[in-house]
């Protein structure tokens, strides 16, 4: 009878361990879902002593859908979180300087390529094959957004409704302020209870399920379902439940970052994109908010010493590193073997970490929290089936992110250091990525080449990176009628792009207007 009661036990008390972006994103997603479940409470326990990592300042467009679903006004978000708009990642010096120029660069845009109907990728490949001196970039050929980014313009007008835009966009943000906004929304609108205490330990029953938390200030607290958002420490899934770690450092080499915030003045023109500048053993992120640049020197300590990294970062910052508050963050590259074990789910850094490229940390957290919220367990009996579904989906997603991140390195033709040469070693490239790259040597990518609706990055993302980095795909035979249509559409894209660049406001000017007047509600 006792065993039957355990199986049929309702899941009514949900607890989230840890605040920060991950914890409060989870609180909002799960808080909304819990409103439709009778007798379900959601509690978030946050340590008053542990600061958040707080460097994940880049997002992707999917975050807009989440913010809207939470009921957060875009105006409030922009005002409260030091937000700037992000329309692209501009990759600088990811290719050989002698072949492609001292300041070679490309855009990974957020708007879809070839928006006018014809797939313009074959035309671009044909141009590259027949005109060896062609300097037109892939993004310039296929998207008007290229012109907007290069002109440092905003993606919308002050009269454009909230979350709408002339082109697709995401945000740069102050991660600490973002967590506070999410916390306020979850507690005031969604009924999430916020407690402050340090979780010291947890009790486990004879079936391996967590039963209660032991805290320093609140004593023992019993719950039914536990969500671990305790960061790299992963105090429940890893420390208590001993779920193993899947190491990915043999595929993704960067494992350290030196971070620093650089003050800027009102006169500084804010780029509407992240700048990712490659160096001998990694790359530098540079994200401009209205009052500061968030910067980070990401590198492999197997290919560069800490002192070399500091010297190169200092050079990038114009000799200002010593005058700035900086810190070094070690990065354990990989993810948990299981993300949901027994009655515990890990989200955010407790799930794992790869590296900051393409803003995958907030992306995966938001995706996983939203996915979990759609299938919250209502009884203990539902846990095995739901956890298997969640683990399979999230493992697939993490593996695809490993592949996409690796793509940036293994197709580079840089030969100036062992780091870049080692990244092209076949043993370091995931097998599924090898198969895709082999296919794409002869055929330009199609949506059909990806198999699941759980692809974190779609074919558009691959196109911008592959051909931004001059990937050598064999040019196909093309009809005269296709050439004619493609050339017309490329010319039209240029006209639209230049028109939008003239129409749209300067990035900082729009941010100032939003702070003063706000955006139109839908």
pLDDT in tens, 283-297: 999 999 999 999 999
Q: Which residues pair with 379 in a beta bridge?
A: 10
Question: Smallest Cα–Cα separation from 413: which of 403, 421, 425?
Answer: 421
More confident residue, 455 or 247: 247
> What element of type H or E holds 466?
helix 459-468
pLDDT in tens, 201-220: 999 999 999 999 999 999 99
The whole-number average pLDDT for the span 424-433 is 98
pLDDT of residue 132: 64
pLDDT in tens, 101-121: 999 999 999 999 999 999 999
Is the Cα torsion angle 45, 48, 49, 52 positive or negative in sign?
A: positive
pLDDT at 2 over 50: no
pLDDT of residue 52: 62
pLDDT in tens, 43-64: 999 998 876 655 658 999 999 9
d(CA 25, CA 347): 10
pLDDT in tens, 132-179: 666 789 999 999 999 999 999 999 999 999 999 999 999 999 999 999
pLDDT in tens, 18-32: 999 999 999 999 999
How confident is residue 1, by pLDDT bands cut at 50, 70 and 90? very low
d(CA 507, CA 147): 14
Domains (ranges, CATH) in the chain?
10-83+172-245+333-395 (3.50.50.60)
- Burial class, 221, CB count within 10 angstroms (exposed 0-12 / middle 13-18 / buried 19+): middle
How confident is residue 472, by pLDDT bands cut at 50, 70 and 90? very high
The whole-number average pLDDT for the span 94-102 is 94
pLDDT at 451 over 90: no
Relative orientation angle of helices 383-410 and 360-374, to the nearest 10 degrees: 160
Mean pLDDT of the chain: 94
pLDDT at 4 over 70: no
Share of the chain above pLDDT 70, in %: 97
Share of the chain above pLDDT 90, in %: 90
């Amino acid at each position: 009878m006792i065993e039957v009661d355990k199986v049929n036990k309702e899941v009514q008390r949900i607890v989230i361990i840890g605040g920060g972006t991950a914890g409060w994103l989870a609180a909002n997603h799960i808080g909304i879902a819990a409103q439709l479940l009778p007798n379900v409470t959601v509690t978030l326990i946050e340590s008053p002593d542990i600061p958040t990592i707080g460097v994940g300042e880049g997002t992707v467009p999917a975050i807009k859908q989440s913010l809207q679903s939470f009921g957060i006004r875009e105006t409030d978000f922009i005002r409260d979180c030091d937000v700037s708009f992000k329309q692209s990642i501009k990759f600088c010096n990811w290719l050989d300087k002698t072949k492609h120029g001292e300041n070679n660069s490309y855009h990974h845009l957020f708007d879809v390529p070839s928006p006018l109907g014809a797939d313009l990728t074959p035309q671009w490949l044909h141009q590259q094959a027949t005109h060896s001196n062609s300097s037109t970039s892939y993004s310039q050929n296929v998207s008007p957004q290229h012109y907007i980014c290069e002109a440092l313009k905003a993606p919308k007008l002050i009269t454009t409704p909230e979350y709408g835009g002339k082109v697709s966009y995401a945000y740069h943000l102050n991660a600490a302020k973002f967590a506070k906004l999410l916390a306020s929304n979850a507690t005031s609108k969604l009924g999430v209870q916020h407690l402050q205490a340090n979780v010291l330990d947890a009790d486990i029953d004879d079936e391996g399920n967590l039963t209660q938390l032991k805290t320093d200030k609140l004593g023992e607290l019993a719950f039914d379902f536990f969500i671990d958002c305790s960061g790299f420490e992963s105090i429940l899934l890893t420390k208590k439940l001993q779920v193993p770690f899947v190491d990915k450092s043999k595929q993704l080499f960067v494992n350290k970052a030196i971070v620093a915030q650089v003050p800027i003045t009102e006169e500084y023109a804010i780029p509407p994109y992240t700048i990712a500048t490659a160096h001998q053993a990694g790359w530098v992120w540079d994200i401009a908010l209205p009052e500061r640049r968030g910067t980070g020197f990401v590198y492999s300590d197997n290919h560069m010493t800490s002192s070399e990294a500091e010297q190169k970062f200092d050079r990038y910052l114009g000799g200002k590193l010593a005058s700035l508050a900086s810190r070094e963050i070690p990065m354990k590259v990989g993810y948990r073997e299981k993300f949901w074990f027994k009655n515990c789910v890990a989200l955010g850094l407790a799930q794992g970490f790869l590296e900051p490229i393409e803003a995958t940390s907030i992306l995966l957290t938001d995706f996983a929290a939203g996915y979990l919220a759609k299938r919250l367990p209502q009884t203990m009996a539902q846990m095995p089936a739901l956890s298997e579904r969640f683990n399979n989906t999230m493992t697939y997603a993490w593996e695809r992110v490993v592949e996409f991140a690796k793509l940036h390195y293994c197709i580079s033709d840089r030969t100036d250091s062992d780091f870049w040469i080692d990244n092209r070693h076949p043993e370091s490239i995931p097998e599924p990525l090898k198969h895709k790259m082999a296919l794409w040597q002869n055929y330009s990518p199609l949506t059909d080449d990806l198999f699941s609706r759980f692809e974190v990055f779609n074919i558009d993302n691959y196109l911008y990176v592959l051909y931004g980095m001059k990937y050598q795909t064999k040019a196909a035979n093309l009809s005269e009628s296709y050439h004619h249509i493609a050339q017309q559409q490329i010319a039209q894209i240029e006209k639209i792009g230049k028109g939008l660049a003239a129409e749209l406001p300067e990035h900082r000017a729009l941010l100032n207007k939003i702070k003063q007047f706000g955006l139109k509600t839908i």
